[in-house]
Structure 1
Amino acid sequence: MKKTILFLVVLTFLVSCKEEVVQKPERLIEKDVMLDIMYDLSVLEAIKYQNPVSLDTFKINPRDFILKKYKVDSLQFAKSNVYYASDYEDYKLMFEQITKRLETTKKSADSLVTVEKKKKKPVLQNNKKPAPIVGDTTKLK
């Protein structure tokens, strides 16, 4: 009898721990859309801290811009974020996906920069250096 009671108590405890900590909001943002929003926010925040003048000249608030883009209000975003954050492992996976996406974007941007740098380098014929200018050329007739 004691074993049965102990088993029921342990089973009840395990089942009760599986309850959601945060209730699912009425207007929950889908996980894929949430990933896109979080990715865009991180890119715009990086721009804001790397080159603040670029966003200040256009009077852009990155968070408001992204929320308008996805047609989401700030309360809906906050509630959805809290809901997804309540499951630590899943939230961690979301951030890992965003990090991979940022790294991929960074690699492609870096390769574009190197291509542009190569285009701007002057092409020298036969690897010869250009002849130095001797004297004052303004006095030449």
Structure 2
Amino acid sequence: MRKIIALLTIVILFVSCKEEVVNKPERLIEKDVMVDIMYDLSILEAIRNQNPASLDTFKINSRDYIFKKYKIDSAQFAKSNVYYASDYNEYKSMFEQISKRLEANTKSVDSLVKLQKKKKNPIIKKRAKQTKIGRDTIKLE
């Protein structure tokens, strides 16, 4: 009798673990699109934190912009977000994808900044030479 109860308990545990914690919403946003949305939101949040005036100048509300861009509403986004967050491993993989994209963009921006600095340096050196010769009255430091 004890063996039967133990076996039934184990079977019930395995069956109960397969059950979804959150029901799938009617208008679920696809996983790839959800990753794109969360990526865009992270970029806009970074802009808002680094330079809030830039978004205010153009009167951009990051959430409204995202909802219009992806043709979704706030309820659809919230329900989809809760659904994906209920599966920890899936949600973690989504954030890893976002993180990889952000790192790739950071590298490309850094390389562009380095190129821009290289382009500016010859001009500064040329002006410094002109200052030494006396062609310019303002000295650069």
TM, length-normalised to structure 1: 0.86
Specify the code of the residue in structure 2 equivalent to 1:58. F
Q: Which amino acid aligns with 1:84?
A: Y
Are 1:104 and 2:104 matched, yes or no?
yes
2:132 is paired with a residue whose SS is coil
Q: For residue 84 of structure 2, what is the aligned residue in structure 1?
A: 84
Cα offset, 1:2, TM superposition: 2.7
Alpha-carbon distance in 1 for matches of 2:115, 2:87: 43
2: CA distance, partners of 1:20 / 1:98:
25
The root-mean-square deviation of aligned C-alpha atoms, in Å, is 2.1
TM-score by length of 2: 0.86
Q: 2:91 matched to 1:95? A: no
- In structure 1, the residue matched to 2:31 is 31
**Could you tell me which residue of structure 2 aligns to residue 120 of structure 1?**
120
1:5-36 C-alpha deviation (Å, 9 max, x unpaired)? 32012101221122111000000000000000
Partner Cα separation in structure 2 for residue 89 and residue 45 of structure 1: 24
Q: Which residue of structure 2 aligns with residue 6 of structure 1? A: 6
CA distance, structure 1, for counterparts of residue 32 and residue 75 of structure 2: 18
Indicate whether 1:46 and 2:46 are aligned: yes
Output the amino acid matched with 2:30: E
Superposed displacement of residue 122, structure 1: 1.8
Q: Is there any run of 5+ residues in structure 2 with no aligned partner, and where?
A: none
Counterpart in the other structure of 2:67? 67
- Give the 4+ runs in structure 1 shifted more than 4 A: 128-131
Identity of aligned residues (%): 69
The CA distance in 1 between the partners of 2:60 and 2:130, in whole Å, is 47
Hey, what's the Cα distance between the residues in 2 that align with 1:121 and 1:2? 82
Deviation at 1:129, TM superposition (A): 4.5
CA distance in 1, matches of 2:63, 2:48: 11
Structure 1 gaps of 5+ residues are none
